[in-house]
Amino acid sequence: MENHTIVTLKKGEGRTIKAGGAWIFDNEIDTITGKFTNGDIVVVHDFDGYPMGRGFINQNSKIRIRMMTRKADQLIDDDFLRMRVQNAWDYRKQVMAGGNDSVFLQGAASKGGAGSMPGIAGIGTTGRPDLNCCRVIFGEADFLPGITVDKYADVLVVECLALGMEQFKEKIVDFLKEVLAADGIKIRGVYERSDANERKKEGLPKVKGFIGEEFDTNVEIIENGVSYMVDVVNGQKTGFFLDQKYNRLAMQRICKDKKVLDCFTHMGTFALNAGIAGAKEVTGLDISEFAVKQATENARRNNLSDTVKFRCANVLDELPHLAADGEKYDVVILDPPAFTKSREATKNAIKGYREINMKGLRLVKDGGYLATCSCSHFMTQELLARTVKEAAKAVHKRLRQVEFRTQGPDHPILWANTANVPESYYLKFYIFQVVEDR
**pLDDT tens column, 187-201:** 999 999 999 999 999
- If one compares 352 and 45, the residue with the highest pLDDT of the two is 45
Q: Which residues of 61-92 are buried (b: 16+ CB within 10 A; e: fewer)?
A: bebbbbbbbbeeeeebeeebbbebbeebbebb
- pLDDT (0 to 100) of residue 139: 95
- pLDDT (0 to 100) of residue 115: 36
Residues 97-125 have pLDDT tens digits of: 764 433 333 333 334 343 333 333 334 44
Q: Are strands 259-263 and 281-286 parallel, antiparallel or unpaired?
A: parallel
- If one compares 93 and 109, the residue with the highest pLDDT of the two is 93
% the chain with pLDDT above 70: 89
Q: Are strands 23-25 and 63-69 parallel, antiparallel or unpaired?
A: antiparallel
- pLDDT (0 to 100) of residue 16: 84
Q: Are strands 308-312 and 281-286 parallel, antiparallel or unpaired?
A: parallel
DSSP symbols for 172-190: HHHHHHHHHHHTT----EE
- Whether 160 is catalytic is no
CA–CA distances in Å: residue 155 to residues 31, 134, 227, 285: 44, 11, 16, 29
Q: Which of 133, 263, 373, 375 is catalytic?
A: 375
Residues 309-325 have pLDDT tens digits of: 999 999 999 999 999 99
Residues 387-403 have pLDDT tens digits of: 999 999 999 999 999 99
- pLDDT (0 to 100) of residue 422: 58
- pLDDT (0 to 100) of residue 437: 75
In the structure, what pLDDT confidence band is assigned to residue 425 with cuts at 50, 70 and 90? confident
pLDDT of 223 above 80: yes
User: Residue 17 is inside which H or E element, if any?
Assistant: helix 15-18
- pLDDT (0 to 100) of residue 345: 64
- pLDDT (0 to 100) of residue 376: 82
pLDDT of 239 above 50: yes
